[in-house]
Structure formats: C-alpha cells, structure tokens
Amino acid sequence: MTALVTGGTGFLGRHVVAELLRRGAAVRCALRPTSSEEELRAVAAAHGADRLELVRGHLTRPDFCDRAVAGCDVVYHVAAEMTGATAVLFLGNVVATRVLTDAAGRAGVRRFVLVSSLGVYGTAGVPTGGVLDETCPLDPAAHLRDPYSYSKVAEEQAAWAAYREGRLPLVVVRPGVIYGPGRDCLTARVGLRVGKLMVVMGGRQAMPYTHVANCARAVVLAGEAAGVEGQAFNVVDDELPTGRDLVRRYRTEVGGIRRVTIPRWAIGPLSGLCEWYHRHSRGQLPAVLTRYKSQAMWRPRRYPNDRAKQGLGWRPEIGLEAGLRESFAALRQGTPATS
C-alpha cells in the first residue's frame, strides 16, 4: 500500500507515519517548503527509512496536489493550521482541503481520511451529562467558538460535499484532545493558563483525551477498514482524566504551576460578564470567555467510542496511567520525547 500523509512533521502526523511504516506501507509525506524534516527522518530511520518519500510544495496548489497523490492508494490528510488569523486558518484548512480532495478525486484514490476534530460538533443541544457522539450535528454557529473550530467545520463541509457528489471515498476521524510525550497535557479543556497560574474550569468533568499513539492507530485503521466510507469516527480513549486529577498530578510530578478553580456553577455567569465587558469596553478586553464557548468546552458530557471500536476494530492500547506517566516524564525533562 502507498499512502500520502500531510502534516507528517506534526505531533499526530509523525505517529501516523510511524504506524504506517510499522505496517509495511510505503509513505509519501507532503511537506511545506519550510517544514523541518529532521524529526520525521528520525521516525523513518526507526521504522523503515527506505519506504519514506518526501515531497515539498503548497497544498493550495492543484499541480502540487496532483503530483503528491499520484500513485497513492490512500490519502491521510492530517495537516492543519492550528493557530493564527482566520484568513490563515481558512487558507490552510479549508482551501487546502478543497484542492487536495479535488486532486484525490481526480486520481481515483481508494480512500481519503480526513483528520477533523471533536470540536466540530454543535454542543448547544447536548445537555449536561448528555452523550456527545457521531449523531450530533456539525456546529451551525462555529464562528461563535473560535477561528480554528470554525475552519475545521468548514473543512469538513468541503470534504462532505465532495463525498456527496461521488468524487471522494471519504472517512472522517474526529479526535478529542490529543496528548502524549511532546505536548503539554494542561490544555484549554482543563482551563486557562496564565503564566504559572492554571485557572481550572470546573475540574470534575471527564475530558475527551486520546493518547497520540492510540489516535494515530485509529487514523491508520480508517484508511484500511472495509465498508466505512461516508462515516465519521470519534476518537477518545476508554479512561478519561478530569482537569482536577491532571493538575494535581502535574503539580506533583512536574511542578511549577499554581491552581485556581472556577466552580462549574460560576462558569456561565463569569462568561456572561466577560462578554458584557468585551462589548461595553468596545473590545478592550478580548472575549476570552463567552457562554457559547464555555458550554462547548467545559459542560460535563459523556464521550462514547463504540463506533470507532466496532467500525475500525480500534482499541486504545495505551491506558491513561501509562500515557500520563510518559507525558509527565517528558515534561520533567523539558525536552519532550516525540517517539
């Protein structure tokens, strides 16, 4: 099997490349002209350097995408702009996906796996303690969340349009928060980090985390499993941490942060106040909290992973304890391992 991987230099992408090489695939990685290839080369050296090919160009260029997908059976589109201005996010995530899906359709690939995000769901209709699964709709008001989520919803919409028109054998993977060595596990799902202060939002709710190696395996399986075209799969591990546990362990095992907890009942009113002041001050204070964002991020919910288990034959092999142990060890060393 020959696979094209975009985003292969990134946190998840490197693990996807490693998993593909371990399974004997030939892997072509589409990199930006400016991407560093050092860590990717190290991954390949450990798993099959002779089966890794690197091509460089811009995913917004149809001629580059045609060359990148030529001769590939499966495309794993992992790349995404994660931060930046809305225009950058839309160019990198929506326009690039549109151009790449067009090229994949022309080339007649067997499968196109799009790595999306659990953040694309509209959660307003999911009550406290309710189930967030693949039956939830895409967020109809993602522009009220943040530019990244907005671009990921638009990216999916572009890919689904190509699928519906019969141009793309699409499978979508929607990971929760990806953690592991090489990433800080105190993310925005836990709360807001201000220097050495962690403002924990609620703290008792389970957070939809997935270890990077577990997630990479799900992504690879999405390119292999039979009969799953046109489906989306949430990828969340079996054992989920709470923000309170994560911060407590972080303080013990890594250190260097203080903690303040905003109780769950106070998140809504605080977000409302923040929105009001943002408007009242004509934008002096950025709307870091809004009621819409807060209910999407911090309302307690359940995150089943049955569809990925049944449809992809996936199991999260790395448990929470082992995953956190290696993540904290990497953070302690200050030079996070990237395995």
Ligand X SMILES: NC(=O)c1ccc[n+]([C@@H]2O[C@H](COP(=O)([O-])OP(=O)(O)OC[C@H]3O[C@@H](n4cnc5c(N)ncnc54)[C@H](OP(=O)(O)O)[C@@H]3O)[C@@H](O)[C@H]2O)c1
For residue 298, give both structure tokens.
């911090």
Which DSSP letter does residue 137 get? P
Q: Which helix (H) or strand (E) holds 280?
A: helix 264-280
Is residue 10 a contact residue for ligand X (CB under 6 A)? Answer: yes
Minimum CB distance to ligand X, residue 79 (Å): 4
Among 59, 65, 94, 104, indicate the residue that binds ligand X (CB under 6 A): 59
Which residue, 92 or 203, has its beta carbon nearer to ligand X? Answer: 92
The span of 2-10, 103-111, 190-198, 319-327 binding ligand X (CB under 6 A) equals: 2-10
Cβ partners under 8 Å of residue 322, min gap 6: none
Which residue, 275 or 336, has its beta carbon nearer to ligand X? Answer: 336
Q: CA 289, CA 25: separation in Å to the nearest integer?
A: 44
Interface characters, 145-184, with ligand X (x: CB under 6 A): -------x----------------------x-xx------
Q: Rounded to whole angstroms, what are the CA distances from 290 to 151, 269, 306?
A: 19, 10, 32
User: Is the separation of the CB atoms in 296 and 145 below 8 Å?
Assistant: yes
The span of 32-40, 129-137, 244-252, 260-268 binding ligand X (CB under 6 A) equals: 32-40
Is residue 11 a contact residue for ligand X (CB under 6 A)? Answer: yes
Which residue, 7 or 223, has its beta carbon nearer to ligand X? Answer: 7
Minimum CB distance to ligand X, residue 286 (Å): 22
Among 5, 25, 65, 80, indicate the residue that binds ligand X (CB under 6 A): 80
Which residue, 65 or 274, has its beta carbon nearer to ligand X? Answer: 65
Side-chain-facing half-sphere of 238: CA atoms under 13 Å: 9
Q: CA 107, CA 97: separation in Å to the nearest integer?
A: 15
Is residue 32 a contact residue for ligand X (CB under 6 A)? Answer: yes
Which residue, 126 or 178, has its beta carbon nearer to ligand X? Answer: 178
Which residues within the stretch 99-118 sit at the binding site for ligand X (CB under 6 A)?
A: 115, 117
- Give the residue at shortest CB distance from ligand X: 10
Q: 126 by DSSP, 3-state: which? A: coil
User: Is the separation of the CB atoms in 33 and 9 below 8 Å?
Assistant: no
Identity (one letter) of the amino acid at 325? R
Which residue, 33 or 195, has its beta carbon nearer to ligand X? Answer: 33
Rg of the chain, C-alpha, whole Å: 20
Which residue, 117 or 274, has its beta carbon nearer to ligand X? Answer: 117
Is residue 20 a contact residue for ligand X (CB under 6 A)? Answer: no
Is residue 9 a contact residue for ligand X (CB under 6 A)? Answer: yes
Name which of 76, 14, 34 is nearest 221 in CA terms.
Answer: 76
Which residue, 143 or 278, has its beta carbon nearer to ligand X? Answer: 143
Name which of 23, 28, 29 is nearest 10 in CA terms.
Answer: 29
Cβ partners under 8 Å of residue 73, min gap 6: 1, 2, 3, 109, 110, 111
Instruction: Give the interface size with ligand X as a residue count (CB under 6 A).
Output: 24
Which residue, 81 or 133, has its beta carbon nearer to ligand X? Answer: 81
User: Which residue is associated with the tokens 């941490």?
Assistant: 241
Minimum CB distance to ligand X, residue 77 (Å): 8
Which DSSP letter does residue 45 get? H
CA 101 from centre of chain: 19
Contact residues toward ligand X (CB under 6 A) are 6-7, 9-13, 32, 34-35, 59, 78-82, 92, 96, 115, 117, 152, 175, 177-178
